[in-house]
């Protein structure tokens, strides 16, 4: 019972049946943080871009948040992140 109460902070934001998005977002954040470990900057950018596109499609398809406004905000934030990442990729040295 204590574990369930402690874990509700991760799951109460999502619709019933979509609680696994808490794990998916944690994995997404971990992979984004680990992306600079690749030796090539272009590899990091491509992997983060693919990751963000997959998350964007999943959020747009499943709408996991309880509030419709939260789903819309999450989609907009993903699009803004992808735009910044794509525009920033033009300035990466190809050396």
- What number is the average pLDDT over the span 6-14? 82
Provide the pLDDT confidence category of residue 95 given band limits of 50, 70 and 90. Answer: low
Percent of the chain with pLDDT over 90: 71
Extents of the domains making up the chain: 2-91
Burial call 38-73: b when 16+ CB within 10 Å, e when fewer: eeeeeebbeebeeebeebbeebeeebbbeeeeebee
Q: What is the pLDDT of residues 32-62, one digit of tens each?
A: 999 999 888 889 999 999 999 999 999 999 9
Mean pLDDT value across the chain = 91
């Amino acid at each position: 019972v204590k574990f369930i109460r402690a874990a509700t902070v991760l799951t109460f934001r999502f619709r019933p049946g979509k609680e696994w998005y808490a794990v998916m977002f944690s994995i997404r954040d971990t992979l984004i943080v680990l992306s600079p470990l690749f030796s090539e900057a272009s590899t990091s950018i491509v992997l983060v871009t693919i990751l963000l596109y997959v998350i964007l499609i999943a959020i747009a398809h499943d709408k996991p948040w309880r509030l419709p406004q939260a789903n819309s905000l999450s989609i907009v934030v993903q699009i803004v992140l992808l735009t910044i990442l794509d525009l920033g990729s033009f300035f990466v040295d190809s050396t």
